[in-house]
Amino acid sequence: MIYIGCHLSVTDGYAAMGKTMSAFGGNTFAWFTRNPRGGKTKPVIPEDVEALREHLHKEGFGPLVAHGSYTMNLCSAKEETRANGLDMLTQDLARMELLPGNFYNFHPGAHTGQGTETGIRQIAEALRGVMHADMQTTVLLETMAGKGSEIGGSFEELREIIDRVDMGDRLGVCFDTCHTWDAGYDIVGDPDGVLTRFDEVIGLSRLKAVHFNDSKNERGSHKDRHEKLGEGCIGMEAMKRLALHPALQGRPFILETPNDDEGYIREIHTVLEWQA
């Protein structure tokens, strides 16, 4: 089995997110640790986080997948942007320790003209400076579509970051189906081959979570435009095969499709029906 859920708003607090996802019928969820476009944070109330932890245990939730701000770029050509990104990462990981055993996912960044090698080096340096052996949060690098100067459009780029950070199993990967497809990997015609390649380059043990999205674009478009399940170029049958793939079982699957609450509820129940 997999765990299934979607992104939720933290506006009403942590415990409220758990109750909302239970009402949706899911058993995991994601949330932004701060404003995804602006970087502002919401104060964390320890009692609220503890109430969520109790709910997760009682309801049998899988791991949660927090998401860093889109504005966090650890490999920008601008030193100020890199410094702001490092500050966001440091604060976010400190707050994540209130929810031990969960995942913190982020977009590796865009090198903005410096070159892939420089971008990879800067991302790794930032992670080495913040991560430590005693942390109880697993950091996830997201597979990207390879748009513009994005880092992470290939499995090899993510592997190089992992090797340079050298934090054991505390550094993994979130496999975004839309991004991976848009990057050129054929998860429709050859999902076994793609996952075998991932295993050869990175290792399936590091694939900790899945962003479960269809794509508005053809394979290899490098555009990163998500679509509702079954309404894009990946298609419902391929999405179902991925959800049931033996190599992906036990992971949290997070929907990031362009939906309202009712749409997410329908998609959550569709995935649950596949697993029945």
| pLDDT averaged over every residue in the chain | 97
For residues 33 and 66, what is the distance between their CA atoms, to the nearest angstrom?
6
Name the residue with tokens 């290899």. Answer: 220
For residues 34 and 189, what is the distance between their CA atoms, to the nearest angstrom?
37
At 201, is the secondary structure helix, strand, or coil?
A: helix
For residues 187 and 17, what is the distance between their CA atoms, to the nearest angstrom?
31
User: What are the pLDDT digits (tens) for 193-250?
Assistant: 999 999 999 999 999 999 999 999 999 999 999 999 999 999 999 999 999 999 999 9
Across the beta sheet with 3-6, what order do the strands follow? 3-6, 252-255, 207-212, 171-176, 138-142, 103-106, 65-67, 30-32
The CATH number of 3-275 is 3.20.20.150
User: What are the pLDDT digits (tens) for 21-39?
Assistant: 999 999 999 999 998 887 7
How many CA atoms lie less than 13 Å away from 228 in the CB half-sphere? 13
Least Cα distance to 275 among 62, 55, 36 occurs for: 62
How many CA atoms lie less than 13 Å away from 216 in the CB half-sphere? 8
Burial class (CB in 10 A: 0-12, 13-18, 19+), 133: exposed
Of all residues in the chain, what percent carry a pLDDT higher than 90? 96
Of all residues in the chain, what percent carry a pLDDT higher than 70? 100
Give the model's pLDDT for residue 71. 94
For residues 37 and 45, what is the distance between their CA atoms, to the nearest angstrom?
23
**At 196, phi and psi to the nearest 5?**
-65, -40
Sign of the torsion angle spanned by Cα atoms 12, 262, 5, 33: negative
Alpha helices for 149-220 (secondary structure H):
155-165, 177-182, 191-201
Give the model's pLDDT for residue 36. 85
Six token digits for residue 272: 């649950």
**At 249, phi and psi to the nearest 5?**
-70, 150
